[in-house]
Structure 1
């Protein structure tokens, strides 16, 4: 790629990537869909890799869910090669139904492929989520009513071995689009991103613009800031819950009773998820399970998603599957 002066948006993107890196980061692997966010990320990584003499690579995931998806993946790979990536891989995945919905199923297949690509290269996987994506995630978490953790949004680092890195969480989507314009990069617009059948699209197209109009500008930035604060609080509560967790298959009610309510509910959630793999818990589920401890009057138990039931026996909580 011919050298040219960095435009202001490109410079902001480069700085965002540089400031997010740790000394332990080696190979930088960009997940690129061909959209403006991931193309802007790829452009920034080219500069950062050269400045820091770090190896760079890119991976494009073809979900096979749309006509000509293979052609678009190949076109994106070609663009990445033109940008300066010598190591570009297209990975085709099979999206299997899990009952969680097509968006969640595609995300599961995508991350599995991306994590495998990162592990193969011992690389840090860079994702192009922006401040706008973070704001949308916080609003969706608020709608679920699942507590502080759901408001924490996406972490800067996450995933297996904390390999996933999101450098653009403080940058608005308008900046990534401007990066593409500054570098003559033509992005692809996924039609799923404008389909109102998806809750995230309705948040993006209707909810956030309405909030901006009625409450004033800066809503996305405020929501992203809320995510940072909520994550700090959630991390502290999780750490305290881990200390209080006896690590047993059943949980003594007196252990929960001796904790402040916020910490007690966090311990219950940890016990249900880690000890028993209970999926998709919301605040209503936790309040109902908590009542088995704090408002016990002989309830039969609490039914949870996945065909699970929590019941109280001899002062202890246990998880059972009534259909077995």
Structure 2
């Protein structure tokens, strides 16, 4: 008699996710002890040796609630029974920048990346499911962040892999029960002060009740379609960015910038569709030193107006002290000392 269908689904998802890895390589699973990551850990422990891979486990102790160290220790002690070795607790210190969710995520990924490098892992598996993907798409809609945000989470990004994106959260719960595993219920997953929890607990259930039970699946399909479109536009923007780079420094430089200016041909930018042009402008702003997390659509739109609605405007302010000026057919992105007459008045068609 074969495994329970839910168990089989998880194992198959793991096998498909790891099919391209080199035999003998180490794969780590990031496991909190919740149903999703616990089912994933069990699936990895089963599939890895049959694929000629080594499998280990890491669990992150954020230290944000009483008993977190005990829970992390419990997960590590469970690893041998799942066929996972090595198994480690990664204790982190969570900061405050960007809010509690963002700060915890940043600390968690930094710890996972460090563990993967130290242990020589080829991949780190994350337990995000189709329901998590649906939540991510809804959050992207609320932010109005565009198709890249609506594309949700990718199945593979660098060393990180998400084998369960095609499976619902109910599958992992059933798989754990079928395997006799007792998942841990993280109290933070019920804390409605977190935006994602409110989406999970209130918004998605209302949508399913009012519009039908297939909402998570539909949102996940939307993410996949948006990802295909965004990937195509990004590849187009990469080509245009290389073509638009002029290498020309801005004229009348009062003092050397902190890093070389990024200069783009206005005529090349003007020949592109808006979706491509704005992606190119974002790349230039990031290359000049604007922080990704602070760079918003409004900044990109203002810089875009220097191309499409040129009226002799002064420099556009970007996060990170970066300014954008148009001069002699070139759009220059550079660090600026705001208020300097030479800098501000240099922009001319």
Q: Provide TM-score, normalisation by structure 2.
A: 0.85
**Matched residues in 1 for 2:105 and 2:203: separation?**
23
1:177 maps to which residue?
A: 173
**Matched residues in 1 for 2:299 and 2:142: separation?**
15
Deviation at 1:321, TM superposition (A): 4.1
After superposition, give the CA deviation of every residue in 1:294-321 in whole Å (9 maximum; x if it has no partner): 0122333433344544333443232434
1:283 to 287, 291, 297: 297
2:9 maps to which residue?
A: 12
1:195 maps to which residue?
A: 191
Contact 1:144 1:282 in 2 (8 A): no
Higher alpha-carbon Rg: 2
Instruction: Between 244-253 and 179-188, report the one with greater CA deviation.
Output: 244-253
**Matched residues in 2 for 1:173 and 1:221: separation?**
11
Structure 2 residue 104 is the aligned partner of structure 1 residue 106:
yes
1:29 maps to which residue?
A: 28
Contact 1:31 1:38 in 2 (8 A): yes
Contact 1:312 1:318 in 2 (8 A): no
**Matched residues in 1 for 2:200 and 2:186: separation?**
14
After superposition, give the CA deviation of every residue in 1:226-270 in whole Å (9 maximum; x if it has no partner): 111111111111111111114551223222111111111111112
Report the secondary structure of 1:30's partner residue.
strand
**Matched residues in 2 for 1:214 and 1:304: separation?**
42
1:236 maps to which residue?
A: 232
Deviation at 1:51, TM superposition (A): 1.9
Deviation at 1:59, TM superposition (A): 0.5
Report the secondary structure of 1:123's partner residue.
strand
Deviation at 1:323, TM superposition (A): 5.3
After superposition, give the CA deviation of every residue in 1:47-78 in whole Å (9 maximum; x if it has no partner): 10132232110001111121121111001111
**Matched residues in 2 for 1:244 and 1:94: separation?**
41
Q: Per chain length, whose mean CA-contact separation is higher, i.e. which structure has more relative contact order (CA < 8 Å, sep 6+)?
A: 1
Instruction: Between 229-238 and 310-319, report the one with greater CA deviation.
Output: 310-319
Report the secondary structure of 2:184's partner residue.
coil
Q: Trace 1:240-319 onto structure 2 (pairs within 5 A).
A: 240-246=236-242, 247=245, 248=247, 249-280=262-293, 281-315=295-329, 316-319=331-334
Contact 1:149 1:234 in 2 (8 A): yes
Structure 2 residue 152 is the aligned partner of structure 1 residue 137:
no
1:75 maps to which residue?
A: 74
Deviation at 1:284, TM superposition (A): 2.8
Report the secondary structure of 1:6's partner residue.
coil
**Matched residues in 2 for 1:193 and 1:252: separation?**
49
- Alignment size in residue pairs: 317
1:89 maps to which residue?
A: 88
Report the secondary structure of 2:101's partner residue.
helix
**Matched residues in 2 for 1:276 and 1:231: separation?**
26
Root-mean-square deviation (Å): 1.9
Report the secondary structure of 2:88's partner residue.
strand
1:64 maps to which residue?
A: 63
**Matched residues in 2 for 1:274 and 1:135: separation?**
32
Structure 2 residue 211 is the aligned partner of structure 1 residue 215:
yes
Unaligned runs of 5+ in 1: none
Deviation at 1:322, TM superposition (A): 4.5
Report the secondary structure of 2:90's partner residue.
strand
**Matched residues in 2 for 1:193 and 1:242: separation?**
39
Report the secondary structure of 1:107's partner residue.
helix
**Matched residues in 1 for 2:202 and 2:326: separation?**
44
